[in-house]
Amino acid sequence: MSTFKHTVKFVLQQTAQPAKLTPLRCFVRYNNDRAVFPSGETIEPRYWNVTAQAPRQIAGFTAGPKVANNLKHIKACIATAFEHLTAIHQEYPAPADLQSLVLQVIKNGGVLPGKEKRTSDLFTYIDQLISDTTTGKRVKQKGDRYSPGTVRHYNSAHGVLKRFAAHKGKASFKFNDINLDFYFDLKDFAYRVEKLTDNYFGTVVKFLKTCMNEAKYEQLHTNDQYNSKRFVKVSVDVENVYLSTEQLDILFKHDFSDQPRLEKARDLFLVGCWTGLRFSDFTNIKAKNITGDLIEIKTQKTGETVAIPIHNTVKSIMARYAGITSNSLPPAISNVKLNVYIKEVAKEAGLDMVVHIDKAKAGINYAMGKPLHELISTHTARRAFASNMFKMGIPTIVIMAVTGHKTEKAFLKYIKVTPTEKAELMREIWNRQTMRAVQA
């Protein structure tokens, strides 16, 4: 059952004239917000039961049953629109978005607009969903397109499901096949055959739930077993590394002039470390995004525009590429190549100390020790930015505006700052306050 709740109340536009035919307005309240729109129904106030939210059953008031049925239909349309938006986006909708969709559902006879029954076959439906996501026919709640990275994740998860079907001797599954037996069989296949990590299996389950939710609200099935508390998206904290400002300085000062390939990779990686942008964004900075000492860019994943001051390291890098590239930044390379090259860069720069981290795979936790350079990837850049900015004492709300984290809880799980580092940060802030008090 959905954790997103709403209430519906019909309110007379006026009550001063009991015998005057009066419009009923509809108020949908949720999460300290509300959407208000006309119900399309009218009634004399003397016939309206405010407590029961229904017409009074009075002899001679023949329109009562019809009004009651119409209001019941409107409430059903509201539920359809509300559940559709919250199930897909996993957050409460904006009032204007809910109002718009409710009116469309009412006009469409209670059915979500543009949703035709395509199939009862899961994989056929998934193929269509991925196609709609790729082409932009399927968009986010605010109208933004899904990122290419989301499409890649969808295709990857779909690949696991298709291999699972082949493992079971099937070409596909029906919507009604997705039950707890299916879940535990998939989990066994993911861990035992595919050797997936816990979080990778979790992404497959999340994708499957997304598909089932969308199909359900397109009225393709009535199966609700995938919403069981036991049909869970596995998620464990991953111990990823980050590079300190001292380590970033080591990379920056290392001479790679005789290895242009590694020099460009190092420079590109450092741009990511000092902007906090995702790979898809820091490799897509245009000259028009740079004004004075600021980089301002609309991020691909969230569609939000962020502004970041240009760090001195990035300024030095830009001076190196001035007149060579249009944006005075290192030329972009693929994510795959940068992931390979940056490991070479870190190794040659001497970042080879052994790092011990905990891993979770196939439901089993184990410790692992590896040289630092082997653990560095393009995503390390963004994590380094967030962690280092936090250690510098920059307010989390300011850092989150760049990283795109919606809650401080999620942000604090993301950064890689040890308890000792947090204690040192606290001591440093206390010392600063003490110095100010002495100087005053």
- Number of other CB atoms surrounding residue 301 within 10 Å: 15
Compute the average pLDDT of residues 360-372.
65
Contact 119, 173 (CB under 8 A): no
Higher-pLDDT residue of 421 and 129 is 129
Provide the whole-model pTM.
Answer: 0.55
Q: Let me know: does 382 contact 276? Beta carbons within 8 Å.
A: yes
**Ramachandran angles phi, psi of 9, nearest 5°:** -140, 135
pLDDT tens digit sequence for 63-79: 888 888 889 889 988 99
Percent of the chain residues topping a pLDDT of 90: 55
Distance CA 44, CA 53 (A): 14
Question: Which residue's entry shows tokens 């199930």?
Answer: 87
How many Å apart are CA 92 and CA 6, to the nearest integer?
10
Structure tokens at 423: 């204690």
Mean pLDDT of 11-18: 94
DSSP string across 389-419 = HHHTT--HHHHHHHH--SSHHHHHHHS---H
Across 237-252, average pLDDT? 84
What pLDDT score does 44 carry? 93
Q: Within 10 Å of residue 85's Cβ, how many Cβ atoms?
A: 21
Name the percent of the chain lying above pLDDT 70: 90
How far apart, in whole angstroms, are the C-alpha atoms of residue 374 and residue 22? 72
Q: What is the pLDDT of residues 271-326, one digit of tens each?
A: 999 999 999 999 999 999 999 999 999 988 777 889 999 999 999 999 999 999 99
Is the model's pLDDT at 237 over the cut of 80?
no
Any idea which of 160-174, 394-408, 414-428 has the lowest mean pLDDT? 414-428
Give yes or no for residue 111 having a pLDDT over 80: no
Whether the per-residue pLDDT at 113 is higher than 80: the answer is no
Which fold would CATH assign to domain 245-435?
hpI Integrase; Chain A (1.10.443)
**429: which residues sit within 8 A by CB, 6+ positions away?**
393
Residue 1 — pLDDT band, cuts 50, 70, 90? very low
125: pLDDT strictly greater than 60:
yes
Alpha-carbon Rg for the chain in angstroms: 28
**Helix, strand, coil % in the chain, rounded to nearest 5:** 50, 15, 35
| Mean pLDDT in residue range 179-200 | 92
Distance CA 279, CA 338 (A): 10
* 115: pLDDT strictly greater than 60: no
Range 256-265 average pLDDT: 96
Q: Which amino acid is at 226?
A: Y
The predicted structure's pLDDT at residue 332 = 94
Mean of per-residue pLDDT scores for the chain: 87
